Amino acid sequence: MSFSAVIVAAGEGLRAGPGEPKAWRALAGRPIVRWSVEGLLAAGAGEVVVVVASDRLGSADDALAGLSGWKAVAGGGTRAESVLAGLAALRTGPDQAVLIHDAARPFVGKAHVDRLLAALDLADGAIPTLPVPDTLKRGDGVVGETVSRDGLWRAQTPQAFRLGRLRAAYGAWPAGEEPTDDASVMERAGGRVAMVAGDPMLMKLTYPEDFMLAEQLSAGRRIVRMGQGIDAHRFGPGDAVWLGGVRIPHDMGLIGHSDADCGLHALTDAVLGAIADGDIGEHFPPSDPQWKGVSSDRFLLHAVSRVAAKGGRILNADLTLICERPKIRPHRDAMRARIAELLGLPIDRMSVKATTTEGMGFTGREEGLMAQAVVAVETPF
C-alpha cells in the first residue's frame, strides 16, 4: 500500500537538556530528524513532509541534504497545529494512507510501517502499542494508591490514518484543547483505532540519558556494504591524462568514455556496486554523445548522490592505479584530496596506490592503464 508521511520536528525538546532542539542533535553523526526521514523513505513513503519551526527551514535543507522525496514546512505553536500544517502540505488525495511520526523516534523501519498499513484496512486509524510493564502508582510525593495496569498500553508513533478522515477528525476537535496524540483526535471523532505490536526500538528520545542509549542502539541499525570497480583505457595521441580527478602531463593521452579518467570510472562503479545500482554504463551510456569529453567528476558525484538518496554514506575508498607510466607518486596527494572532496570524505579515509605489472600484459607494454577501486558504504537496513 502506498503512503505519505508527516514528521513533526518543530518542538524545542526542553526536557532533553541544554543544547540544540533534539530533532537537530546528532545521533551516530547524523541529525536525529534525518533518521526518521530515511527510515520512512526506505519503507516506501511516496512523499514526506517535515514540519519544523519557521527558523529551522534552512536547518532542514542542511540536515536532509542528498535525500529526495521530502519537503519542509513551518509548523505552529502546538503539536496539533504542526500536524495540520503537515497535512495541508501533502499533495495526495483523501483516501491516501498517511503516517504521523515524531522525529524524536529515530529508529522507525519498514516492519513498523507494514503492520500499521495492514491494520488500516479494517480501521480508521492504527497505532503501535506496548504493554505497560511497571507497577503504576498515583500520588504526590507519597503513594496515594496503586493503579492496575490491566488493559493499559503505551502508544508510540508513527500512527496511521486515511488523510481525509484525519483532517475531518481534526476539524471536529474542540477549540482550546490540545490532543496528546493523533489517535486521540480520531477517537474523539468516533473513529475506530486499531492497536498493532509496538517495538521498544521505537523509543522516544526525551531525556539526556535517552540519547546515550540511542547511540549504543544505533550501531545495530546500519550495515556496511562493499563495492568494487575496475576500468581500463587505451593510450592514444595527446599530451596529458586525467587520473583521479587530476590532469597529469604525459606524452600520450587516454582514449575512452568522457575524459577517460579510469580512476574516477572505477570509483563510480564501486560506489554504484555497493548499493546494487547498476554501473557507469547504465547511468551514462558511452553511446550518448552528451558525455563525450565531459569531466568524470560528474559521474562520481552522481553515484554519491545515489548513495545519499538511499540514506547511506560513504565510509572510505581505496583506489589502485596500474601502469608503467605516468608515475603516480608525485600526484598521489593531489588525487587523494580531489577524490576525498568528491566523495565527501576526510582525506585520511581516501587511499590512492599505484603498481606496475613488471612489463607484462597491456599495461606492461604501455598500451594503456587500468584502475581498481573498493568502496565501503554504510546504509540503513
CATH number for 256: 3.30.1330.50
Task: Report in angstroms the alpha-carbon separations of 337 from 119, 147, 243, 305, 334.
Answer: 52, 63, 13, 19, 5
> Does residue 233 sit within a domain?
yes
- Per residue in 327-360, pLDDT tens? 999 999 999 999 999 999 999 999 999 999 999 9
- The predicted pLDDT at position 302 comes to 95
**Domain annotation covers residue 59:** yes
Determine the average pLDDT of the residues in 48-66. 92
276 lies in the same domain as 376: yes
Looking at the structure, tell me whether residues 269 and 326 fall in a common domain: yes
Are both 195 and 255 inside the same structural domain?
no
Q: Identify the weakest region by mean pLDDT among 32-41, 48-57, 284-293, 354-363.
A: 284-293
Share of the chain above pLDDT 90, in %: 80
pLDDT of 203 reads: 93
The three-state secondary structure class of 5 is strand
For residues 232 and 246, what is the distance between their CA atoms, to the nearest angstrom?
A: 17
Same domain, 192 and 57: yes
pLDDT digits (tens, 9 = 90+) for 102-114: 999 999 999 999 9
Mean local confidence (pLDDT), 320-324 = 97
Q: Does residue 61 sit in the same domain as residue 189?
A: yes
- Written in H, E and C, the secondary structure of 92-159 is CCCCCEEEEEECCCCCCCHHHHHHHHHHHCCCCEEEEEEECCCCEEEECCCEEEEECCCCCEEECCCE
| Same domain (yes/no): 249, 175 | no
Q: Between 124 and 18, whose confidence is greater?
A: 124
Residue 348 lies in a domain: yes
**Mean of pLDDT over the chain:** 93
Please give the grid coordinates belonging to residue 291.
Answer: 558525455
Q: Which of 160, 177, 206 is the last residue of a domain?
A: 206
**For position 121, what pLDDT does the model report?**
93
Residue 19 has pLDDT above 70, yes or no: no
237 and 140 both lie in a single domain: no
Same domain, 153 and 113: yes
**What's the confidence (pLDDT) of residue 358?**
95
Full residue range of the structural domain in which residue 182 is found: 3-206
Query: Are 187 and 227 in the same domain?
Result: no
Closest listed residue to residue 128, CA positions, set 146, 141, 115 = 115
pTM of the model as a whole: 0.69
What is the distance between the alpha carbons of residues 47 and 116, in angstroms, rounded to a whole number?
17
pLDDT tier at 381, thresholds 50, 70, 90: low
Are residues 199 and 57 both part of a single domain?
yes
Q: Tell me how many domains the chain contains.
A: 2
